[in-house]
Amino acid sequence: MLTYTIRRLILSIPTLLFIALVIFLLLQLAPGDPMAQVPLTVPPEVKEKMREALGLGAPWYVQFWKWLVQFFWIEPKVFIDYLTNSSTLFGWLPDTELYTKCGAGALEDCDLRMRSWQTRSPVMDLVLQRLPQTLWVVGLAYVVAFFIAIPIGIYSAYKQYSKFDQAGTFITMIGFSIPPFFTGPLLIVIFSVYLGWFPSIYDTTLEVNSWASFKKQLAQMIMPVMVLALQVTAQISRFMRASMLDNLKQDYVRTARAKGLSERVVVLVHVLRNSMIAVVTVIALAIPGIFGGSIITERVFKVNGIGDALIGALFASDMPMVMTLTFIFAILIVLANIFADVMYGVLDPRIRYD
């Protein structure tokens, strides 16, 4: 199992490199000068120097290589330093001094970091500030969707064509069809304007340190999570139902019943485990859509996650930020795919032994 996981992780590196190249070339091919916003009063020779400092004169492969070095070599060094210096988890480890800062009194070979053109602070710092919010919202949406969808799928397959099944099919069809940018404003109107239960804007400065603040955090998480969860629930329960139906007709189910197992064990142990394989497929297939949905949800509820940052960076034509954020989305999707593959291995022994 471990070798299988490691093999999948190694195989994902070319995929990620290819995606990075696609994003990079897309940004390179795009017309538009990153220096267009510089005031006209700046003399041309200064402009030329700025251009050089941004690395704009170099051929594209040099620029790509520099970006790769930034992302896979310098940023990890900074991250490890942060972990051993100031994080609570690994702060007890001896300080590592991998990253050498540039500036006054710096040595000859110092590490420059990629900076955002909007804020002038390192891109990765901004990303790390914003990543947790996105992961919380998307992750919780998946967990919620899972706990709602699996029982619905099981029951509607077990009682096929019953009232419950038909109602469930109709509701999942609706959940499947209503886009998040419609459910979001709809929930805001109903629950924050008319009922006043939840805040319509996500307060990211809130620190959870007491019971009251925890309740506040919960209240502001509910709507973004539910908007995303609705989409996922619909997909998972549809797949779950179809796959349960397939499995319930199999011979091994008859065998299990014939040898006297209770109906509960037959359905919830034997059939469920085999049907979960289809659900894992949904996780893999739906992930790009969910991260797309998270961009819209973050926009609607003003959660300052990476989706919101991407839109802001795009409108400000902040290319380093756009490049890095798009790549982070790609990494998250590839990681989710690997997770799905490993889950296949857990659920289906035939895959493991290949």
Partner 1 sequence: MTDDQEIVPIEALSDNTTLPPHRSQGQEIWLQFRQHKGAMFGGFILAFITLAVLFGSLIWQVDPGKLDIRSKDWRPIYTLIWNGDVKAGWAHPFGTDQLGRDGLANMLAGGRTSLAVGWAAMLLSLFLGAGIGVLAGYFKKLDGPLMRMTDLFLSLPVLPLLLVAVTLFRQPLRANFGPEGGMFILIVGVIGITSWMHTARIVRGDVLALKEREFVLAARSAGTTSKGIITRHLLPNVISPIVVSATFGLATAIITESSLSFLGVGFPSDFPTWGKMLADAVPRMQEFPERVMLPGVAISLTVLAVNYLGDGLRDALDPRIRGR
Q: Which residues bind partner 1 (CB under 8 A)?
A: 15, 18-19, 22-23, 26-27, 30-32, 170, 173-174, 176-179, 181-182, 185-186, 188-189, 193, 285, 288-289, 291-292, 295-296, 299-300, 307, 310-311, 314-315, 317, 322, 325-326, 329-330, 332-334, 337
Of the pair 144, 322, the CB lying nearest partner 1 is at 322
Q: Establish how many alpha carbons lie within 13 A of residue 88's alpha carbon, considering only the half-sphere containing its beta carbon.
A: 0
Least spacing, CB of residue 266 vs partner 1, in Å: 24
User: Could you tell me the smallest distance in angstroms from the CB atom of residue 161 to partner 1?
Assistant: 12
Specify which residues 115 forms β-bridges with. Answer: 122
- How far apart CA 322 and CA 284 sit, in angstroms, is 24
| Cα 206 from Cα 220, distance rounded (Å) | 10
Residue 246 C-beta: closest distance to partner 1, Å: 12
**3 state SS of 261:** coil
What span, in angstroms and rounded, lies between the C-alpha atoms of 282 and 236? 6
Going by the DSSP 8-state scheme, the letter that residue 73 receives in this structure is I
Q: How far apart are CA 354 and CA 4, in angstroms?
A: 9
User: From the CB of 175, what's the least distance to partner 1, in Å?
Assistant: 10
Instruction: Give least dist CB 22 to partner 1, A.
Output: 7
Contact (CB, 8 A) for 236 and 150: yes
Question: In terms of CB distance, is 89 or 195 closer to partner 1?
Answer: 195
Amino acid at 30: A
Report the residue number, 92 or 315, with the smaller CB distance to partner 1.
315
Q: Write out the DSSP string of 161-208.
A: TSHHHHHHHHHHHHHHHS-HHHHHHHHIIIIIIIS--S-SS--TT---
- End-to-end Cα, the chain, rounded Å: 11
Nearer to partner 1, 74 or 333 (CB): 333
Distance in Å, CB of 40 to partner 1, minimum: 20
As measured in angstroms, the least distance from the Cβ of 111 to partner 1 is 27
Tokens of 105: 């009194």
Nearest residue (CB) to partner 1, 146 versus 176: 176
Structure tokens at 138: 């998307």
Q: Among residues 185 and 199, whose Cβ is nearest to partner 1?
A: 185
**Beta carbon nearer to partner 1, 163 or 259:** 163
